[in-house]
Structure 1
Amino acid sequence: MAHVITQPCCNDASCISVCPVNCIHPTPDEPDFTSAEMLFIDPDTCIDCGACIDECPVEAIFPDDALDEGQERYLQINADYYTDHDVSGGLVAPRKKPPLPAGKELHVAIVGAGPAAFYAAEELVRHSAIRVDMFDRLPTPYGLVRAGVAPDHPSTKGVEKTFASTAAKRTFEYFLNVEVGKHLDHSDLTDHYGAVIYAHGASTDKHLGIDGEDLPGSIAATDFVAWYNGHPDYADRDFDLSAERAVVVGNGNVALDVARILLDSPEKLAKTDIADHALEKLRDSNISEVVLLGRRGVAQGAYTNAEFLAMGDLPGVDVIIDPDELVLDAASQAARDAGTLDSTIATKVRIAEEFAQREPTEGNKRVVFRFLVSPLALKGSDQGVETVRCARNEFVNDPDESADNPGDTPRPASSRAAIRPSGEEFDLPAGIVMRAIGYTGLPLEGVPFDGGRGVVPNAGGRVLEEPGGAPLEGVYVTGWIKRGATGGIGMNRLCGQETALAVIADFTEERLSDPVKSREEIPALIAERGAGRIDGAGWKKIDLAERTAGKPAGRRRIKIVSIEAMEDAANA
């Protein structure tokens, strides 16, 4: 009997470290890890020890004889990975603690409380001589795990248990409801701490740059996600769901999350931790079709196979794909013909082809995947969006002819999936349009910023004065604000660990100056500046209040969605 990894996989690699036979791949030491959609167990190597099941924070691993009908598909997905990957390398050796300077303590401030911040903190508090204070402007921690993960994916939120374990360390303290840039500035942190790690994420959405993008009803998918997840900054937003069709530009996991929430049964969502205001609005929604626009082909779909596959399991929802749009770029087609197409891409294409063969059911809602289609403009009036003007794209063999290559910028000959408009255009009526094309970071006063990339310039987590410049002593960065808005939990764990190890190395090699002031002054300083700090005990009270409210309805929690109510709960 073998074990199988299924949809909730968060890629945090904790299962890899406990596997005695190196049967889980890719490992953090393998190049594929940074781009892997999920982890995979080799059925021929697994010895059925069960260690990975106990270690998995999101309950994604099962014995093959305990899979339900929907999970059985992951038997093939796990096995398919090993058609073009092997298990010969990637063993993860236990990390030894480096010797720290005798008789010295290091106080570290971490700005942000999302996954990368916690994985950096986890690495730091392994050492009793290092203390961590974690700051976040919200009264609640966990970043996008709380405010970004879809409410119908409760297993994925299981990583909160790992974060809570770190927060329980005696050398860790919360400074929630404290805003850096308002209650503290960069110089305050560097004055009071030996090291400062910025982990404040990529907090704003990217724009399409097309006419009509500012019309009412044209919104960022990130705003919609934050709204239905109960983020206090978005709880008062209102979205018009009176039309029958919504268009989502983009085909990553966020786009699929949005489509699923719009089309799923409100009765089913009522058992999740979705915000009550969103649930009420969705009950009255008229949306029966969501169209997802991907400017390239199916092989370049940005969603993971697990999320793509799950779209076909929504009760009362048909997945619609035109077989004629399942066109592969020349390189992918050649690899498929030769039997050398990457297994993950091959699975993506196979799932799409299976969906394309399904017969729609009369009366069902629809999620429509459109490939090789780009929006050109949004049309409507002051009342809202009415139409999306679209262009059909085509693959080109010469990358320099691609629409992705504005101006005279040369592109490497090896560039794949170059596209250009085919000349065919069409209108797609829609009452709401969401752009789901990614996040980008914003500058923080006093901290260097690379506006072109939307990140803090850095080398291995050490902040640089400017891109390519010298490192700033004692200032570090991790997460999306370090590398851009790519990668999920697993990548954030590697990223957080890399930055933490840079801090530890600099401390060990005595490259960090002692702060000129004591971190003990911070509570009084932020109180003087009007911060209503919420500490670990306060967060536990908020958490308990939400879970207690959800219990009678069989819900994981009912989220408190206003700052004031959170403060009241924390101080109760």
Structure 2
Amino acid sequence: MRAFKRLSTGGTLLAWKSKWRSQPGKSPLSSSNTKVCVVGSGPAGFYTAQHLLKARQDVEVDIYERLPVPFGLVRFGVAPDHPEVKNVINSFTQTAKHARCHFYGNVNIGKDVSVEELRQAYHAVILSYGAEGNRTMGIPGEDLPGVYSAKDFVGWYNGLPSCRDLNPDLSPETAVILGQGNVALDVARILLSPIDILKKTDITQAALEALMESKVRRVLIVGRRGPMQVACTIKELREMVKLPATRPEMLQADFVGVSEALSDLPRPRKRLTELMLKSATELSTDEERERSHQNWRSWGFRFFRSPVQIRPNSDGSRVEAVRLAVNRLEGSGEAARAVLTGELEDVTCGLVVSSIGYKSLPIDPAVPFDPDKAIVPNQMGRVHQAPGLYCSGWLKTGPTGVIATTMNNSFDTAKSLIEDMDSGHLDTSAAKSGAESITDLLAKRGVKRVTFPDWEKIDDLERRKGEAMGKPREKMLTVEAMLQVARTEKV
């Protein structure tokens, strides 16, 4: 009633509802609908919403996002030279424009609104906010200048506001990437890609200009196990092999016995290993001569090695080398374990990127959280000892797989929720206020939400700026700039 009085000069309670709830092109919603809230607008959030909206006509989904812009790691994590992967944004946009779906950006759950307040307002709350933290190596020197997490480095060239000031030093000739997954190869590829390729992508102009001045000519990608356990996929490896003006630089000793073991490998692993082996051993004399030209850059895997120390230069002002422990494997295949041999070696470098994985962080003290696994404890997406609370995506499983993996994971969580509705385990009999009460709380707390039409203003301006520069878009780098555009009247 207080909210009604505040707006009484502007009309009726219906006007208040319209002010906070309506979006252009949306149909009025039934108060008897089951109201579901999704926290996080990355792939996990949108795929969960998609499945719920398709499966049930009586479900209404509100998606809350900390930033003013949607799409999470599709916008901020996918490499700029992978535009085809970003096509999922088209289907996410259709979901956001669905009559029973609403997007609320610039709302920080756990700070602006508590999870308990969401649970009071919605029949079900699904946490899908991903993995925003960094896994640390726990070795001396990892905080030295010149050492970066892959998450922050990727966020820097992709325009994540919190990473805009990273300003990595790209003056060293050699970079070492610790980790051999797809993100590690993304970083290596961006460091070595010709500028003419990058300038046609949505990489930020600030990152593009820094890479234009980069002195990095050699990238080593380090992993603790061997070629037959490497974590990247064949697509990313093939891109490295075909990268213009680069040559592979491998250690023949790392591939001893690999060709003899190929026949026993599963087909995907076999194809990946064959390509790696070919790139390591089968360059012709002419190719080797050409690729050894001083203007060419190089990249290579270093297997059977674990970082034990990041070594500083003489005055301790920045990184000078990575000390690696040499490993041997016990066991075989995916189950093989790296065991220290006692041998150490130093790799001189001035840039280190740690790509050992993202991790989820707790969002609210009221939500169960396993700090060791960095996930919310759950059974098929149902949060332990918290009826009506669910999770999907990396928060549910840890940071594994690709977007398709997240899609299946999220669909499974949606199925669990639907099963709970059908069985009566989730009580949907009582009416819930949903976004109406949450937006009232936000208004009282001075939080200005961003709707999907507001996002489309940002999107439109980014595209127009990008078009003028010959690229798909030029991203805004600050929340303040995003909000300023979101508040303007669309021209």
TM-score band by shorter chain is 0.7 to 0.9
Aligned-partner SS, 2:98: coil
Aligned counterpart in structure 2 of residue 230 of structure 1, from 133, 143, 159:
159
Aligned AA (2:447): A
**2:478 is equivalent to residue 562 of structure 1:** yes
Whether 1:369 aligns to 2:293 is no
Are residue 507 (structure 1) and residue 418 (structure 2) matched? no
Give me the whole-angstrom Cα distance separating, in 2, the residues matched to 1:299 and 1:415: 8
CA apart distance, 1:554:
2.4
Corresponding position: 1:545 with 2:461? yes
Deviation at 1:236, TM superposition (A): 1.7
Match of 2:371 in 1: 451
> Aligned runs of 1:469-548 on 2, under 5 Å?
472-514=386-428, 518-519=433-434, 520-548=436-464
CA contact (8 A) 1:297 1:327 kept: no
SS in 2 for 1:387: strand
C-alpha distance in 2, partners of 1:109/1:342?
A: 41
1:333-372 matches, within 5 Å, as 336=262, 339-356=263-280, 357-358=282-283, 359=288, 360-363=291-294, 364-372=296-304
> Does 119-128 or 417-426 show the bigger shift?
417-426
Checking the alignment, whether the CA contact within 8 Å between 2:35 and 2:432 is kept in structure 1 is no
Q: Distance in 2 between matches of 1:270 and 1:447?
A: 43
What SS does structure 2 have at the residue aligned with 1:423? strand
Q: How does 1:68-217 map to 2 (within 5 A)?
A: 104-126=32-54, 127-217=56-146
* Aligned equivalents of 2:343, 2:438: Cα separation in 1: 61
Q: Report the Cα offset of residue 311 of structure 1.
A: 0.3
Asked if the contact 1:192–1:516 (Cα under 8 Å) also holds between the matched residues in 2, the reply is no
State whether structure 2 residue 206 is matched by structure 1 residue 282.
no
Measured after TM superposition, the shift of residue 317 of structure 1 is: 1.0
Taking the aligned partners of 1:222 and 1:524, their CA distance within structure 2 comes to: 35
1:22-33 correspondence runs (5 A): none
* Per-residue deviation, 1:145: 0.5
CA spacing shift, 1:103–1:547, aligned 2, 3 Å: closer
Question: What is aligned with 2:231?
Answer: 302
C-alpha distance in 2, partners of 1:558/1:571? 19
Q: Distance in 1 between matches of 2:130 and 2:406?
A: 11
1:389 to 323, 344, 357: 323
d(CA) in 1 for partners of 2:236 and 2:463?
A: 27
Whichever residue aligns with residue 309 of structure 2, its letter is: A
> CA 1:177–1:310 in 2, change beyond 3 Å: closer, same or farther?
same
Q: State the 1:323 CA deviation.
A: 2.0
Q: Does 1:240 align with 2:169?
A: yes
SS of structure 1 residue aligned to 2:162:
coil
Q: Which amino acid aligns with 2:461?
A: A
Letter in 1 for 2:486: A
* Residue 334 of structure 1: how far off its partner (Å): 7.2
More helix by share: 2
Higher RCO structure, 1 or 2 (CA under 8 Å, sep 6+): 2
What is the distance in 2 between the residues matched to 1:455 and 1:507? 24
Label 1:165 to 1:322 Cα distance change in 2 as closer, same or farther (>3 A).
Answer: same
What do the CA deviations read for 1:199-220 (whole angstroms, capped 9, x no partner)?
Answer: 0111111111111111111111
What is aligned with 2:343? 424
What does the per-residue CA deviation read over 1:451-504, in whole Å, with 9 as the maximum and x for residues that have no partner? Answer: 111000000110003xxxxxx211100000001110111111111111111111
Q: CA deviation at 1:506?
A: 1.5
- 1:257 aligned residue (183, 186, 199): 186
Compare 165-174 and 552-561 and name the one that shifted more.
552-561
Q: Give, as a single letter, the amino acid of the residue that structure 1 aligns with 2:188.
A: A
The share of aligned pairs that are identical, in percent, is: 40
Q: Does 1:460 align with 2:380?
A: yes
Any stretches of 5+ residues in structure 1 without a counterpart? 1-101, 400-413, 466-471
Indicate how the Cα distance of structure 1 residues 476 and 374 shifts in structure 2: closer, same or farther if over 3 A, else same: same
SS at structure 1 position matched to 2:84: helix
**d(CA) in 2 for partners of 1:452, 1:383:** 33
Shift of 1:415: 7.6
CA contact (8 A) 1:111 1:180 kept: yes
Cα separation, 2, equivalents of 1:416 and 1:448: 31
User: What's the CA shift for 1:335?
Assistant: 5.2
CA distance in 2, matches of 1:327, 1:213: 32
Question: RMSD value over aligned CA atoms?
Answer: 1.8
Tell whether the 8 Å contact from 2:180 to 2:232 is kept in structure 1 after alignment. Answer: yes
Q: Which residue of 2 aligns with 1:59?
A: none
How much has 1:268 moved relative to structure 2?
A: 1.8
Matches of 1:249 and 1:137, distance apart in 2: 30
Runs of 4+ residues over 6 Å off in structure 1: none
Separation (CA, whole Å) in 2 of partners of 1:516 and 1:191: 11
Instruction: Give the Cα separation in 2 of the matches to 1:524 and 1:200.
Output: 23
Q: Deviations over 1:397-456 (max 9, x none)?
A: 5x9xxxxxxxxxxxxxx9832222233321111111111011111112111101111000
